[in-house]
Amino acid sequence: MGRGKIEIKRIENANSRQVTFSKRRAGLLKKAHELSVLCDAEVAVIVFSKSGKLFEFSSTGMKKTLSRYGNYRSCSDGKAEEFQEDCTEVDILKDQISKLQDKHLQLQGKGLNILSLKELQHLEQQLNHALMSVRERKELLLTKQLEESRLKEQRAELENETLRRQVQELRSFLPSINHYVPPPYIKCLAIESKNSLLNQACLDKCSFQKTNSDTTLQLGLPGETHDRRKNEGDRESPSSDSVTTSTTRETAQRISLV
């Protein structure tokens, strides 16, 4: 049969209490030794009796184990404090984020029911100040754009003036072929052409008369016939002059039209 379950409470009898302490203390130290050997663990046990007597067990040395325990406790306490500080900072940041979100909504004209009159006035001042800043920035950008456009216009005017001068220089160096002939030059050409035509007509007449006289002398024609032909030649010569004059006029008109 197995043992019965023992109620865990303080033993009133001093002798029984001392006997139980001795037995269980030995068993505790034995279990600690077995745990260190079987599991390769660092185990340390410290027991003080009722009378203040010390009983201890350590698998690797009590001082080493106690120093390691102290370092671990300090580290764990520091980590716990850091964790607590981090949690506090996170809470503060969450509150700030929520406040900023509320202000953003208020600037958009939302969530104004919770604001008082003073808060609404302060919000109105902030919006007016922001609007003035936006307008100043807008005017600055517009003035910059106007200045840039003026500079571009001035550059374009200078370029056009330069191109105009170059064109004028090219025209001065390369005169056009179909240039306008002034009227005095046209008159001179007409007179010269007329004189040349008249001279040519006179030469033709003289050659014609000479030819007739030579022919007459060779053929032995009488003088009356010769005189009659001469008179006929003289009559025909004005017609040739008139033809020459009309031709000269037509030439002068054509040149003036050109």
> What are the extents of the domains in the chain?
12-60, 66-114, 115-177, 183-257
The per-residue pLDDT for 70 is 84
Q: How far is CA 58 from CA 42, 70, 149, 209, in A?
A: 8, 16, 91, 169
Q: In this predicted structure, what is the pLDDT of residue 156?
A: 93
Report percent pLDDT > 90 for the chain: 24
* Cβ neighbours around 45 below 10 Å, total: 19
Report the pLDDT value the prediction gives residue 103, as an integer from 0 to 100: 85
**Token digits of residue 255:** 């040149």
Q: What is the pLDDT of residue 28?
A: 93
- 243-252 pLDDT, tens digit per residue, is 455 666 666 6
Give the sign of the dihedral formed by CA 135, CA 141, CA 143, CA 146.
negative
Task: Report residue 56: phi and psi, to 5°.
Answer: -145, 160
What is the per-residue pLDDT for 226?
47
User: For position 139, what pLDDT does the model report?
Assistant: 93
CB atoms inside a 10 Å sphere around CB 222: 9
Can you list the alpha helix ranges (DSSP code H) found in the chain? 14-39, 62-107, 117-173, 183-219, 223-257
pTM of the model: 0.32
CATH fold label, 12-60: SRF-like (3.40.1810)
Give the pLDDT confidence score for residue 202 in this predicted structure. 55
Report the alpha-carbon angle 10-16-22, nearest 5: 95
Question: Cβ–Cβ contacts within 10 Å for residue 94, how many?
Answer: 10
Give the three-state DSSP class for 56. Answer: strand
Residue ranges for the chain with pLDDT beneath 70: 1-4, 77-81, 175-258
